[in-house]
Amino acid sequence: MTWEPERGYGRLRTVNRLTKRRTSISLAVVAVVVLAAAWIADRGAGWSPPATSHVVTIRTTPYPEGPQFPAVTRGSSSNADAIFAQLPDPLPKPLPQGRNCQFGNITSLSLDNGEVINYGPCRRPESIDALRCLIIGDKPNCA
């Protein structure tokens, strides 16, 4: 048996290629995991709730149609003041509605900068739903 340098060198080159390929695959997997973790962590980002003192009008409207209720404006009456006192602090993030959301009620909060935060029509945070019930003159957890 004699040593054949070309054959051994070719084998070494193959091992190096495999190592480089494994390293590339490992780096790609790590990058995908890091990006996925960042995406999951970022899903809640982008929501900085304004102070409740910036809410100037609360409106509740059946969707897509139904009886209209008058908007409640801050400082317009003692009843309005009682409703505004029930605003949660901080304001909750609007909930995703899902694909099958076809009817319900939209509760809108208008801010002093012109921005409007809509909750609903199918899903609302409990605190916003209780506020909606107060506006329509019903007990909390109204349907």
Please report, for the chain, the start and end positions of each structural domain, with discontinuous segments joined by +: 1-46, 52-135
Q: If residue 110 lies in a helix (H) or strand (E), which one and from where to where?
A: strand 104-111
In the sheet with 104-111, reading across from the earlier edge strand, the strands are: 72-73, 55-63, 104-111, 116-119
Block means of pLDDT (10 residues each) for the chain, length 143 residues? 55 64 64 53 66 94 90 92 92 92 94 95 93 84 69
Using CB atoms within 10 A of its CB, is residue 96 exposed (0-12), middle (13-18) or buried (19+)?
A: exposed
Question: In terms of Cα–Cα distance, which of 80, 141, 74, 132 is closest to 106?
Answer: 132
Q: What is the pLDDT of residue 118?
A: 96
Q: Which amino acid is at 1?
A: M
Task: State the Cα–Cα distance between residues 49 and 119, nearest whole angstrom.
Answer: 13
Task: Look at the pTM and tell me if it is higher than 0.75.
Answer: no
